[in-house]
Structure 1
């Protein structure tokens, strides 16, 4: 792979769009202009159809936790094989709004799906493919959901209980501590401070990869 894959993660209301804009600005200043943007679930026709079912449900049929999980991976592998890998091989940089860390946090932490099953599925589908850098925008569930509500109606997952999101945040923080490719940003700060921190960590990471 010639390009780089950078992913922005976080709870609802964490400011992922702000982070994506900041990353874009920094990369363009470094003359990295061949950029591809993705979101998960989504990004291909099949993945977008699955996104609609995941977000809104279908005909009031209950969506089981494992079915939801499998839909996420079906959408993800469509995106990886049809969009992300071709972009990286063409020396383009990919900026992703969510990737597999979301599944580890939401389905593993929030839904409490068996970790062995989750690990087996992840390895079977992704075969070790992962982002070069993940920026996790950390925020309390209370503040994040307050911000999300101010944007409009909440989707099926956003309507879950507060303990659900507390488990997600705990899993995000646990995984970030264990993986040096994940950088945590305090997203509860002012926009100015968040942007400053994003610029700082990304510039350090670019420098460590020989990009000044």
Structure 2
């Protein structure tokens, strides 16, 4: 059996995590295979430690961009080997909050590191594991940052300047243009219930089976 890897992507405050949980609940009522949820960073015990390091507000002891890139790659390599590949081999459907497109958008376009180098690093970290489908929640960065402010203390990435988040959004746009068949844009300003319905339709079509 071969499972499905469906990735939810977007800038801070886009609502992808909420929609991922809604989609998982719906899918569990529709399919007989296990439906699992996970995230990057943080999908393994090691990943949880790396997530804390990456998102902690650090003050003067800031993480250098290349160090940040390598920490994300370490999280991904562990996640792929310890969680994603074994569960996919058992036929599970996995909904993942962020994957390789995040690194390209945030570290490539946001931090302005070499995108070609990041693609090579992603290939090493994933062992070639590609998503079957990526849902991109597109949102103006100023709207996303306003949402972040309303829900509590922002983490290290959420504190980045608006220009950084604008570059990240442009990165997602470029990536979607390069892979329009497997990366689908969603308007993250739409009401949550409308988004949920649209996602269900996309998943139904992607899975190629009639779902009730």
TM-score (norm 2): 0.92
Taking the aligned partners of 1:143 and 1:59, their CA distance within structure 2 comes to 25
**Any conservation in 2 of the 1:22–1:199 contact (CA below 8 Å)?**
no
Which residue number in structure 1 is paired with residue 5 of structure 2?
Answer: 5
Distance across 2 between alignment mates of 1:56 and 1:25:
30
- The 8 Å contact of residues 24 and 36 in structure 2, kept in 1 or not, is answered as no
The residue number in structure 1 matching 2:197 is: 196
Q: SS state of the match for residue 131, structure 1?
A: coil
**For the structure 1 residues 26 and 152, does the alpha-carbon distance in structure 2 shift closer, same or farther, using more than 3 Å as the test?**
same
Question: Counterpart in 2 of 1:185?
Answer: 186
Q: Which residue of 1 aligns with 2:55?
A: 55
Runs of 4+ aligned structure 1 residues displaced above 3 Å come to: 57-60
Give distance in 1, aligned partners of 2:131 and 2:32. 17
- Offset at residue 165 of structure 1 (A): 0.4
Q: Assess if the C-alpha contact under 8 Å between 1:27 and 1:33 holds in 2.
A: no
Q: Is the counterpart of residue 102 in structure 1 residue 123 in structure 2?
A: no
1-structure distance, mates of 2:57, 2:76: 18
Quote the residue 2:172 is aligned against.
172
Shift of 1:88: 0.6
Decide whether aligned partners of structure 1 residues 85 and 127 sit closer, same or farther in structure 2, where only a CA change above 3 A counts: closer
Q: CA RMSD in A?
A: 1.7
Q: Which runs of 5+ in 1 are unaligned?
A: none
TM-aligned CA deviation for residue 57 of structure 1? 5.3
Give the aligned length: 210
C-alpha change, 1:211 and 1:84, in structure 2 (3 Å) is farther
Deviates more, 1:103-112 or 1:187-196: 187-196
Q: What's the secondary structure of 2:96's corresponding residue?
A: strand
For residues 67-123 of structure 1, the C-alpha deviation after alignment (integer angstroms, 9 at most, x for no partner) is 000000000110110011111111111110111110010001100001232122122
Contact 2:137 2:186 in 1 (8 A): yes
Distance 2:20 2:94 in 1: 11
Partner of 2:72: 72
List alignment gaps of at least 5 residues for structure 2: none
Give 1:129 deviation, angstroms: 1.2
In the TM superposition, residue 37 of structure 1 has moved relative to its aligned partner by: 1.4
